[in-house]
Chain A
């Protein structure tokens, strides 16, 4: 029972991070624009910061998918989410504009909409996972978990991307 819960929590967190990574990577230029709109970095560092963010999210996905790096990955995830929330609050205060959404999930508009509440829910999830007693997974079990996780997430993402691209291709073919 406990191991199922841990598996599911790992799955949800890893899934969210890989979806965020995939859609951010697809709209890399938009990511650069978002990073520069927070005005914390000089223009020359924007590209490096965006690539670093993508790599970090991908590493988090790998660690959640394989179930390794106990407690470190939860700490990393909580730190990242706190950083995101901090920057959103700072930007809202700077611009005096309460309606900012973050483009964290690219085309899936639903998850973009309430970044602060969404981040706090995720932080709560991670923290509650830390409270559960967890035993380190054996190498074979974590390998198996990783393969299942990456195949399922990979095929879902590729399918969604394929159909979105094809829809646009057909639209252009008709009108152009």
Chain B
């Protein structure tokens, strides 16, 4: 019985260790990539930003379009890389103008951001230190809108309380 336990623990810990080491190396490389890409753009490394890659044939494109075209103020730090024919890109550049920047993927083929995105419709959020990966991009945008509304409400009630005092 003890033999079984020891054997099982050994196998599982070897597997777990390999996975954790690989993940750590991947995270370190992603972080380095993001820092270099931020420096290339001459942005501040500590500011929050959301990187989004969108392909126009992806099934959630319609919903993403709706959300981004609502021009919500919470999208100020969103950088979008749109992979679509040029006329769609021109339309969307105007429609999504609350975003920080809407870029056309074929024009930026050397960009490190694109290397990070790897051609998928995903989102990355950088908060100055950590990079988070999101597959459900429309839910991320919905949450951004919701959180922003909540913060605004809290600010409003705080301000009216201050004015009252």
Contacts and interface: CB of A to CB of B under 8 A. Distances in A.
A155 B19 CA distance: 11
Given A29-B132, A165-B19, A176-B115, A36 B26 contact: no
B163 to A, nearest CB: 27
Contact of A158 (B16, B59, B115): B16
Which of A99, A103, A166, A172 lies at the interface centre, i.e. has the most chain B CB atoms within 10 A of its CB?
Answer: A172
Interface of B: 1, 4-5, 8, 11-12, 15-16, 18-19, 22-23, 25-26, 29-30, 33, 59, 112, 114-116, 118, 132-136, 139-140, 142-143, 146-147, 150
A52 to B, nearest CB: 19
Contacts of A143: 1
21 contacts: A30-B135, A30-B136, A33-B136, A33-B140, A33-B143, A36-B143, A37-B139, A37-B142, A43-B146, A99-B59, A150-B8, A150-B12, A151-B11, A158-B15, A168-B118, A169-B25, A172-B115, A176-B29, A176-B33, A176-B112, A176-B116
A173 B134 contact: no
Contacts of A151: 8, 11-12
Nearest to B18: A162
| Contact size range, A | 20 to 34
A169 to B, nearest CB: 5
Contacts of A131: none
Interface string A136-176: 00001001100100110011001101100110110111011
A129 B115 CA distance: 49
A68 interface: no
A43 B150 contact: yes
B136 to A, nearest CB: 5
B52 to A, nearest CB: 14
A143 B26 CA distance: 36
Contact of B12 (A29, A155, A168): A155
Nearest to A153: B12
B115 A29 contact: no
Nearest to A144: B4
Contacts of A27: 133, 135
Contacts of B132: 29
Contacts of A36: 139, 143, 146
Nearest to A37: B139
Given A30-B135, A33-B143, A165-B23, A154 B12 contact: yes
